[in-house]
Amino acid sequence: MRWRARAGRRTTSPAGGRGRWAARCAGARRTGGPVPPRSLLALAYALGPVSGAHLNPAVTFGLLLARRIGPRTAVRYVAAQCAGGVVGAGVLYALVRAIPGFTVHGAFGSNGWGARSAVGINGAGAFLTETVLTMLLVLVVLGVTRRNAAPGAGGAAIGLTLSALVLVGLPLTGCGVNPARSLGPAVFAGGPALSQLWLFLAAPLVGGALAAGVDRLIHPVPRAVAPVTARDTVAVGAV
């Protein structure tokens, strides 16, 4: 009983750093935090043969810079991803509105820094976090979707990578690493969630661009190569 009482004070005390972390992470889960990587893993395998299951503008941007897809295709993908993010958040918003006392203003699983971060990370740290985490994600996507990659393992590699990134990024920024995923909740949360949205749109794109550059260094493209086929543009997905 004594241990439980101490644990209770630790998780509710406004002065306890661990308490703030636990409470805010719990709040992020209650208000629609990041979709579990297992769900995205399932989508990767389900939609991979259909469209490539990018599901993430940063991934699409990386594939564009890596010359896996063309500009027109990239624009269509990003438009569909952002629309899907807003529509999905809208459906969730309609559901939670039916819960008495449930508020979404400034929260709703949106990303943030400063007072909206579980550890109080500043804007520069948040930008660096989102850039690096997205770069790692897109780099894995580019690596496992190459023509000579192990068949059938791409979705699992991407899912495991995202799981690790969520563990690192959730207490820092909420782990956006996907502009479409960050856009949807922020539209309905409004307030500070919307005012900080720019970072979670820009930083993942920078990370995607860096990943494409690193991929070119790791896998240099010979001058005389066969043209990229449509099949190469729809590798097993991402988030």
pLDDT tens across the length of the chain (239 residues): 333 333 333 333 333 444 444 444 444 433 344 445 556 666 666 665 565 567 899 999 999 999 988 999 999 999 999 999 999 989 988 888 877 877 776 677 788 899 888 899 999 999 999 999 999 999 999 988 877 766 667 777 888 888 899 899 999 998 889 999 999 889 888 888 899 999 999 999 999 999 999 998 987 766 554 455 544 444 444 44
> What gap in Å lies between CA 174 and CA 212, rounded to an integer?
24
The residue type found at 146 is R
Say if CB 95 and CB 167 are below 8 A apart: no
- For 105, residues 6+ apart whose C-beta sits below 8 A from its C-beta are 189, 190, 191
Say if CB 120 and CB 189 are below 8 A apart: no
pLDDT of residue 119: 92
Q: What is the pTM of this model?
A: 0.73
Please count the helices (runs of H) and the strands (runs of E) in the chain: 10, 0
Structure tokens at 178: 């996907």
pLDDT of residue 102: 73
- For 1, residues 6+ apart whose C-beta sits below 8 A from its C-beta are none
- For 10, residues 6+ apart whose C-beta sits below 8 A from its C-beta are 16, 18, 19
pLDDT of residue 160: 85
Three-state DSSP at 105 gives coil
Say if CB 31 and CB 22 are below 8 A apart: no
Q: Which value, in Å, is the radius of gyration of the alpha carbons in the chain?
A: 19
57-66: per-residue pLDDT in tens?
999 999 999 9
